[in-house]
Amino acid sequence: MKKIFKFILNTIPRPLLIRLSIVVRPIIAFVLKGNKYTDPIDGKSFSMFLPYGYGTQRNNVLSPSTLSLERHRLLWLYLQNETNFFTSEKKLEVLHFAPEQEFYKRFKKQKNLYYTTTDLLSPLADVKADICNLPFKDNTYDIIFCNHVLEHIPDDTKAMQELYRVLKPGGMGIFQIPQDLSRATTFSDDSITDPKERAKIFGQYDHVRVYGRDYFDKLRSIGFHVKEVDYTQTLSNDLVEKYCLAKGEIIPVCFK
Separation of alpha carbons 153 and 248, rounded Å: 25
What is the sign of the dihedral through the CA atoms of 189, 175, 101 and 27? positive
* Full-model pTM: 0.87
| Mean pLDDT (whole number) for 19-26 | 57
Q: How confident is the model at residue 3, as a pLDDT?
A: 53
Separation of alpha carbons 34 and 46, rounded Å: 4
DSSP per residue, the chain: -HHHHHHHHHHS-HHHHHHHHHHHHHHHHHHTEEEEEE-TTT--EES-PEEE-SSSPEEEEE-TTT---HHHHHHHHHHHHHSSTTT-SSPEEEEEES--HHHHHHHHH-TTEEEEEEESS-TT-SEE-BTTB--S-TT-EEEEE--S-GGG-TTHHHHHHHHHHHEEEEEEEE----B-TT-SS-B--TT---HHHHHHHHSSTT---BB-TTHHHHHHHHT-EEEEE-GGGGS-HHHHHHTT--TTPPEEEEE-
Q: How confident is the model at residue 20, as a pLDDT?
A: 52
Distance (Å) of CA 132 to CA 24, 123, 152, 202? 34, 20, 12, 22
Give pLDDT tens digits for 38-89: 999 999 999 988 887 766 678 888 898 898 999 999 999 999 999 999 999 9
Q: How confident is the model at residue 205, as a pLDDT?
A: 79
Which amino acid belongs to residue 26? P
Separation of alpha carbons 214 and 185, rounded Å: 5
Give pLDDT tens digits for 124-146: 899 999 999 999 999 999 999 99
Per-residue pLDDT band at 2 (split at 50, 70, 90) = very low
Distance (Å) of CA 142 to CA 4, 114, 169? 41, 10, 8
Distance (Å) of CA 37 to CA 16, 250, 253? 28, 22, 27
Separation of alpha carbons 17 and 197, rounded Å: 23
| Mean pLDDT (whole number) for 210-232 | 97
Q: Torsion over CA of 219, 223, 224 and 227, rounded to 10 degrees? A: 70
Higher per-residue confidence, 31 vs 196: 196
Q: How confident is the model at residue 24, as a pLDDT?
A: 64
Phi–psi pair at 87, nearest 5 degrees: -120, -5
Q: How confident is the model at residue 29, as a pLDDT?
A: 62
| Mean pLDDT (whole number) for 196-203 | 78
The residue length of the chain stands at: 256
